Amino acid sequence: MGKKVDDSVLDVALNEIRTKCTLMTACAGEPANFAAANVGGANFLADAPMTPADFTISNGDVSGRKVAVAAKAGIIVDNTGMADHVALLDTVNSILLYVTTSTSLGLTSGSSLTLSTWDVEIADPSL
């Protein structure tokens, strides 16, 4: 017996990110919670404000659905460290919405950072 999910079901999860994410942060190590990823937190290095316009929901690259996260340039680095994670935060409700690994990059306080576009993808169910 096969498994199926309608795109609308996956879109609800992705829309939660699109509508509630207000801040994207570059982090040194995987933040355990909202406080660690937020400005001034233990893993925090740099941040960029986000709005729903920074996210686009569409078909996944392989299957399912994805939300593309817009690139951000000219981000001023607040703390020196090795950025290897990116976090999406809901600062209104103090929620760590999503964390992913990134290519490691040494950052220096006061320098400028560009975060390229990337996707959060939910695949269709499989056997």
Sign of the CA dihedral running 89, 41, 49, 102: negative
In a domain, 120, yes or no: no
Which residues have a Cβ under 8 Å from the Cβ of 93 and sit 6 or more positions away? 20
With respect to residue 117, please indicate whether it lies within any of the assigned structural domains.
no
Reported as a single tens digit per residue, the pLDDT across 46-81 is 999 999 999 999 999 999 999 999 999 999 999 999
Residue 29 counted as domain residue: yes
Does residue 119 fall inside a structural domain?
no
In terms of residue numbers, what domain contains 67? 7-109
pLDDT tens, 73-89? Answer: 999 999 999 999 999 99
Confirm whether 78 is domain-assigned: yes
Q: How many domains does the chain contain in total? A: 1
CA angle, residues 108, 114, 118, in degrees to nearest 5: 130
**Sequence-ordered list of residues with C-beta below 8 angstroms from that of 40, at least 6 positions apart, any chain:** none
Q: Is the pLDDT of residue 1 over 70?
A: no
Q: Does residue 55 form part of some domain?
A: yes
